[in-house]
Amino acid sequence: MADAVETVPTKGPLIYRQSIFTRVTHWVWAICLFFLLLSGLQIFNAHPSLYIGQQSGFEFDNAILELYAVNTDDGPRGRTRLFGQEFDTTGVLGMSGSADRPAFRGFPAALTIPSFQDLATGRVVHFFFAWLFVLTMFIWFLASFINGHIRRDIVLGPKDIKGIPKDIKDHATLKFHHGRSYGPLQKLSYFGVFFILFPLIILTGLTMSPGMDSAWPWLLDVFGGRQTARTIHFGVMVLLVSFFIIHIIMVLAAGPINELRSMITGWYRASPGTTTNEGEQK
Amino acid sequence: MSRLQLTRRRFLGASAATASSLVLAGCEQFDFLGSRDNEVRNVLEMANTLTYKVQRGLIGQQSLAREYSASEIRQGQRPNGSTDPTTEEYKALVASNFADYQAQDYRHGGAGGQFFAGRITQYAGAKPDYPS
């Protein structure tokens, strides 16, 4: 029995960390964002350029990103022009597909839904999952305000802000504290996603609709025109994809089984010494 | 412990399934959504009705598109779709350099004023690459 007691301190308590609302909205969002990304790239491919301003310039140049194909002495090549810098991106951007049947398109078939060029279907898929995404966000905000998830895990308190330098050091050395509430950097990134990126990608998406612009003309003033809104929409997508990559890396680094279990069953193995009411402010 | 291993196995199975569907996804996995009579597509299309109704509710009867002054127009107009129709009517308009061109204002039953004096340029848009 004495031996058993020796091994116990290496394991912390199992705590109920994620409510049913957090878990269900998490997975619905995962599905939504997957379809939104791939149908969004389909829509982007209908005109694979991004501009700054009120209009897309073809008699003047206000493009910051263009994907296109050019004819060279070695045959057609795919090109990407980003902030005036041109890159050869044959095989991925501008031109992709097999050598005998090349496709001249922005993003390759593997990254769009459907794989072939079909703007109408891309829009059908995009808007369906956009509604599901927004509905899920509404439920998440309501539930998270009521059950304290936002207060406990998303908004940074003075203690969190003071703890940021230490948390950066801990992340750099892959030492994670598994507590009841989220750590400072975790809170910071989720705050950015929920309170900045999600609202921004929804509002810039609405700004692209001429109908919405007549209902809410302020959208055009806030974002500086439909073309700028489209560019911001794309930029936020890039940030969300980056968030996804870091999210997956952190789940793998912090213990994928434990992290996945907490997002499926709600139960989480906390660090030794964690009290079950840690982080609760009543 | 045995319970934990079971969940672990289930996790691994689920994540492997998710990962493989993610890899396959972009390719042809969801191409069936492109066929107009697909049942799943019809369900997804119901969101369009929701979009339409919510938007019309927000827009109301009186909202108009924003107007821009002539100085804010920085370039010519470029049409989408057919730029050189072959109908007799259009050919006659071309022959007269659109001197007789008039937009019909059907709402008030009368002919509208001169509507469109923009240039017509050839638009070399991307070719669609539907699977053959």
Q: What domains lie within chain A, and their CATH numbers?
A: 2-48+111-269 (1.20.950.20), 49-106 (no CATH)
> Measured between CB atoms, does A257 come within 8 Å of chain B?
yes
Q: How far is A85 from chain B (nearest CA, A)?
A: 22
> What is the distance in angstroms between the Cα of B84 and the nearest Cα belonging to chain A?
20
* Cβ <8 Å between B65 and A214: yes
Instruction: Give B132 or A232, the one with higher predicted confidence.
Output: A232
pLDDT, tens digit, 9 for 90 and up, residues A244-271? 999 999 999 888 888 888 888 888 888 8
Nearest to A239 by CA among A187, A193, A179: A193
Q: How confident is the model at residue B106 (pLDDT cuts 50, 70, 90)?
A: low
Mutation for testing the B interface, residue in A14, A96, A117, A207 having most B CBs under 10 Å: A117
pLDDT: is B6 or B54 the higher one? Answer: B54
Contact B47 A128 (CB under 8 A): yes
Mutation site for A-interface testing, chosen from B11, B29, B33 by largest number of A Cβ within 10 Å: B33
pLDDT digits (tens, 9 = 90+) for A103-133: 999 999 999 999 999 999 999 999 999 999 9
Query: Which residues of B are less than 8 Å from A130 in CB distance?
Result: 47
Q: Which two tokens stand for residue B44?
A: 């997804």
Whether A128 and B44 lie within 8 Å, measured CB to CB: yes
- Mutate: best of A52, A121, A221, partner B, most B CBs <10 A: A121
* pLDDT over threshold 80, residue A230: yes
